[in-house]
Structure 1
Amino acid sequence: MNLKLESLSKINKKSYFQLSILIALYYALIINIPFYIKLYDILEKSNSMNIGLFLSMPIFIFAITNILFNLISWPYIAKPIFIFLILTSSIVSYVIYNYGISVDYGMIQNTFETDIGEAKSYLSVHSIFWVTITGIIPSLVVAFVKIKKRVSIIKKLVSIFISILIILLIAFFYFKDLSYIGRKNSELKEMIVPTYYLSSSYKYIRSTYFSIPVVYKKIGEDAKQISSNTSKKPTLFFFVLGETARSQNYQLNGYPRPTNEYTSKQNVISFKDVASCGTATAVSVPCMFSALTREEYQESIAKHQDNAIDILKRAGISLLWKENDGGDKDVADNITKTTLNREEISEFCNGNNCYDMALLENLDSDIKNMQGNRIIFIHLMGSHGPNYFKRYPDNQKKFAPDCQRNDVENCSSESIINSYDNTIHYTDFVISKLIDKLKGVSDQYNTGLLYLSDHGESLGENGVFLHGLPYSFAPIYQRRVPLMLWMSDDFEKTKNIDQACLKNEAQNSSISQDYIFHSLLGIMDVTTSVYKPELDLYKKCREIK
Structure 2
Amino acid sequence: MSFSRIEPAPVHSAPLFEASAQQLSPPGALWQRVDQWLTRPRSAALVMLWLGLYLVLTTNWPLWNELARIGGAPSTYLPTVIAMSLLTLCGTVAMLSLTAWSRWLKPLWFLVVVLAAVTQHYMLEYRVVMDPTMIANALQTDPNEARDLLSWRMAFNVLIVALPAGLLLWRMRIAPMGFLSKLWRNAALLLLAVVVALATGVAMNRQLAPLMRNNIHLRYMMNPIASLYSTGAVFIKPLFKRSGKLIPITAGTTLGASYAAQVRPPMFVVVVGETARADHFALNGYARDTTPELAKRNVLSYRDVHSCGTNTLASVPCMFSPLGKQGYESRKDDYENLVDVLQASGLAVLWLDNQAGCKDVCTRIPNASAFDGLDAATKKALCDGDECLDEVMLKNLDARIAALPAERRAKGVVLVMHQMGSHGPAYYKRSAPEVKRFTPECKTNALAECGHNELMNVYDNSIVQTDRFLADTIDWLKTQSKQYDPAMLYVSDHGESLGEYGLFLHGVPYSFAPEAQKHVPMVTWFSEGMSERRKLSRSCMEAGLDAPLTHDNLYHTVLGLMDVNTPTYKPALDALASCRAKA
* Structure 2 length-normalised TM: 0.87
- State the one-letter code of the partner of 1:346: K
Residue 77 of structure 1 and its aligned partner are, at CA, apart by 5.0
In structure 1, the residue corresponding to 2:512 is in which secondary structure? coil
Secondary structure class of the residue paired with 1:272 = strand
Q: 2:320 aligns with which of 259, 264, 289?
A: 289
Does the 8 A contact of 1:228 with 1:544 survive in 2? no
Q: Is 2:558 aligned against 1:520?
A: yes
Aligned to 1:276: 307
Check the 8 A contact 2:67/2:77 in 1, yes or no. Answer: no
1:468 and 2:507 are equivalent in the alignment: yes
Q: Deviation at 1:531?
A: 0.7
Within 5 Å, give how 1:185-334 maps onto structure 2: 185-208=215-238, 213-228=243-258, 230-298=261-329, 301=332, 304-334=334-364
150-159 or 248-257, which deviates more: 150-159
Superposed counterparts of 1:36-435, under 5 Å: 36-44=64-72, 49-76=76-103, 78-150=105-177, 153=182, 159-160=189-190, 163-164=193-194, 166-208=196-238, 213-228=243-258, 230-298=261-329, 301=332, 304-341=334-371, 345-370=379-404, 371-372=409-410, 373-435=412-474
CA displacement, residues 154-177 of structure 1 (integer Å, 9 cap, x when unaligned): 665665555455434433432110
**Paired position in structure 1 for 2:26:** none
Shift of 1:277: 0.4
Contact 1:293 1:514 in 2 (8 A): yes
Which residue identity is paired with 1:220? T
Residue 438 and residue 165 in structure 1: after superposition, are their counterparts in 2 closer, same or farther (change >3 A)?
Answer: closer
Q: Counterpart amino acid of 1:193?
A: N
CA contact (8 A) 1:523 1:538 kept: yes
**Residue 448 of structure 1: aligned partner:** 487
**Partners in 1 of 2:56 and 2:145 — Cα distance?**
32
Distance (Å, rounded) in 1 between the aligned partners of 2:322 and 2:57: 47
Measured after TM superposition, the shift of residue 63 of structure 1 is: 3.3
In 2, the alpha carbon distance for the partners of 1:77 and 1:234 equals 66
The letter of the residue matching 1:374 is: V
| Letter in structure 1 aligned against 2:554 | I
Q: Distance in 2 between matches of 1:105 and 1:197?
A: 8
Please state how far the C-alpha of 1:76 moved relative to its aligned partner: 4.5
Kept after mapping to 2: 8 A contact 1:387/1:405: yes
2-structure distance, mates of 1:255, 1:364: 35
Q: CA deviation at 1:396?
A: 1.3
The number of aligned residues is 538
Q: Deviations over 1:29-64 (max 9, x none)?
A: 11111101101111018x972433333433343333
The two structures, once aligned, show a CA RMSD in angstroms of: 2.4
Distance 2:247 2:156 in 1: 49
In the alignment, is the contact (CA less than 8 A) between 1:87 and 1:136 conserved in 2? no
- Which residue of 1 is the match for residue 526 of structure 2? 487
Matched-pair contact (CA < 8 Å) for 1:214–1:300: no
Letter matched to residue 37 of structure 1: N
| Post-superposition offset of 1:138 | 2.2
With over 3 angstroms needed to count, the CA separation of the structure-2 counterparts of 1:452 and 1:50, relative to structure 1, is closer
Structure 1 SS opposite 2:367 = strand
CA distance 1:255–1:203, change in 2 (3 Å)? same
Alpha-carbon distance between aligned partners in 2 of 1:50 and 1:376, rounded to the nearest angstrom: 54
Q: Structure 1 residues 519 and 141 mapped into 2: Cα distance closer, same or farther (>3 Å)?
A: same
Q: Alpha carbons of 1:248 and 1:314: their partners in 2 closer, same or farther (altered >3 Å)? A: same
Residue identity opposite 1:348 in structure 2: L
What amino acid sits opposite 2:571 in the alignment? P
Distance 1:293 1:161, change over 3 A: closer
Residues 307 and 551, structure 2, Cα contact 8 Å, conserved in 1: yes
User: Following the alignment from structure 1 to structure 2, what is the Cα–Cα distance between the partners of residues 409 and 425?
Assistant: 23
Q: Aligned partners of 1:58, 1:533: CA distance in 2, in Å? A: 52
**In the alignment, residue 105 of structure 2 is paired with which amino acid?**
A
Bigger mean CA deviation after superposition, 13-22 or 534-543 = 13-22
Consecutive unaligned residues in structure 2, runs of 5 or more:
1-31
TM-score w.r.t. the length of structure 1 is: 0.93
CA drift of 1:222 comes to 0.6
Give the whole-Å Cα distance in 1 for the aligned partners of 2:465 and 2:574.
29
Residue 437 in 1 paired to residue 476 in 2?
Answer: yes
AA partner of residue 142 (structure 2): D
CA spacing shift, 1:217–1:17, aligned 2, 3 Å: closer
Q: Is the 8 A contact 1:289 1:309 kept in 2?
A: yes
C-alpha distance in 1 between matches for 2:170 and 2:582: 71
